[in-house]
């Protein structure tokens, strides 16, 4: 009797090996809960897995896991933002998640939150700031449905710092890199964002 591989879905909709969380090759196909290899033969089944397997999958998907951020309640920080950013840049957007059809207001709110984050992450970089301000609500939301990880990286609060008086927060070199990663993914999909040069 053939031994089949155990697969699952991670939180970003990627097909992964259940025991390691590693992303399966893009050449594999899925019909129902059955996975087929390059030659069209069945190689495994998709299942929910144990609590331990689910934790492994979540940790692998975020390149080391996330924890609550100290700088702001309700926000999260990647344990290794560099690896998470690199993974987000490589993500192709093979999502299998079923999500409700977004409303115009949902897209508008999401676009606004992305642009508001730019005030924190790249306010001292006028070029990056202008590019993020010009991203459209529709395109941002479409990109989100295809590559949620890049937005998790963009909204990472692990390197947001509090000012000397403890009243305000500001970005850092890492948040600027996260913003640039979003710009790179956006421009790779939709083309270069042209901005007005300042004299």
Per-residue confidence of the chain (199 residues) as pLDDT tens digits? Answer: 568 999 998 888 888 999 999 888 888 988 888 999 888 889 999 998 899 999 998 888 888 777 776 656 567 788 888 888 888 887 765 555 555 678 899 999 999 999 999 988 888 899 999 999 999 999 999 999 888 889 999 998 887 777 666 566 778 889 999 999 999 999 999 999 988 765 3
Residue 8: closest CA among 55, 66, 63: 55
| Domain spans in the chain, listed from the N-terminal domain onward | 5-58, 80-190
Measured on CA atoms in the order 172, 175, 179, 185, is the torsion positive or negative? positive
d(CA 47, CA 6): 7
Tokens of 66: 């996330």
Q: Assign residue 191 a region: left if phi > 0, alpha if psi is -120 to 50, beta otherwise?
A: left
């Amino acid at each position: 009797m053939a031994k089949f591989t155990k697969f699952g879905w991670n939180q970003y909709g990627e097909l992964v090996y259940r025991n390691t969380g590693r992303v399966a090759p893009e050449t594999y196909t899925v019909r129902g809960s059955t996975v087929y290899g390059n030659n069209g033969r069945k190689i495994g089944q998709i299942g929910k897995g144990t609590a331990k397997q689910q934790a492994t999958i979540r940790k692998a998907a975020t390149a080391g896991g996330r924890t609550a951020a100290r700088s702001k309640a309700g926000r999260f920080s990647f344990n290794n933002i560099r690896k998470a950013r690199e993974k987000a840049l490589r993500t192709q957007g093979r999502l299998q998640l079923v999500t409700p059809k977004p409303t115009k207001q949902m897209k508008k709110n999401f676009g606004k939150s992305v642009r508001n984050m730019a005030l924190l992450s790249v306010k001292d970089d006028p070029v990056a700031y202008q590019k993020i301000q010009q991203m459209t609500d529709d395109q941002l939301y479409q990109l989100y449905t295809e590559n949620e990880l890049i937005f998790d990286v963009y909204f990472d609060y692990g390197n947001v710092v509090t000012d000397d008086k403890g009243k305000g927060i500001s970005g850092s070199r890492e948040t600027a890199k996260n913003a640039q990663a979003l710009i790179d993914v956006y421009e790779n999909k939709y083309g270069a964002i042209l901005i007005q040069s300042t004299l």
